[in-house]
Amino acid sequence: MLGIWVGEHEGAHFWLSVLTELKARGTQDILIACVDGLKGFPEAIGSVFPKAQVQLCVVHQIRNSLRFVASKYQKEFIADMKLIYRAPSLDAAEVALTKLEEKWDARYPSAVKSWRSNWTNLSTYFAFPTEIRRMIYTTNAVEAVHRQFRKVTKAKGSFPTDDALKKMLYLATINIEKGARSKQNWPAMLGQLKIIFDDRIPNVFLN
């Protein structure tokens, strides 16, 4: 975990300040940034770390689409979405997306449109091996941290200052890190990333 930031609004300006701070503190490069659908986040990443590949969280995309689908059709709609994000290749995913549009666009245009408009960043993970895809297609790891944060802040209720809040969250991260497990098959995935990104991964990380 590289930092904790408190802000009233999550827009491009806020995210730009966060990323600029990370760069000033020594972050030289970001290979893949997995983010949810917050407005302005991908643009801010591209302006500070132009080589970074952005992957929008597929789980957030699914939830967003289902908001526009009547409950009696959701099971069928989910089955059709699975053919997109579980496709074996980008070509197969694009075929499934086209079929989703043909089948559902007339009934639920808002549920379908966001897939197409966000497709560039939703489909980033198809360029990687299966193990890496599982790691980057969703922000679930971050969401798990947020759930722990909500547990400790809910009991407190309110905080006199932002610094008081940050201190409590910092102490919570210590407990979270103690319970964290190493990523399974990480050495193999790191080797795959080295092949893909070449000299952007220093050899020191492979030792």
Please check whether residue 48 is in contact with residue 33, taking contact to mean a CB–CB distance below 8 angstroms: no
| Token representation of residue 168 | 């409590």
Q: What is the pTM of this model?
A: 0.84
Q: Kindly tell me if the per-residue pLDDT of 56 is higher than 80.
A: yes
pLDDT tens across 152-179, in order?
Answer: 888 777 888 888 888 888 888 887 776 6
Q: Kindly tell me if the per-residue pLDDT of 195 is higher than 80.
A: yes
| Geometric angle at alpha carbon 108, from 106 and 113, rounded to 5° | 95
Mean pLDDT value across the chain: 89
Domain ranges of the chain: 29-138, 139-196
94: pLDDT confidence band, cut at 50, 70 and 90?
very high
Which residue in 128, 117, 53, 118 sits closest to 90, CA to CA? 128
Top pLDDT among 129 and 179 is at 129
Secondary structure (DSSP) of 25-74: TT----SEEEE-S-TTHHHHHHHHSTTPEEEE-HHHHHHHHHTTS-HHHH
Q: Kindly tell me if the per-residue pLDDT of 13 is higher than 70.
A: yes
53: pLDDT confidence band, cut at 50, 70 and 90?
very high
Percent of the chain exceeding pLDDT 90 equals: 57
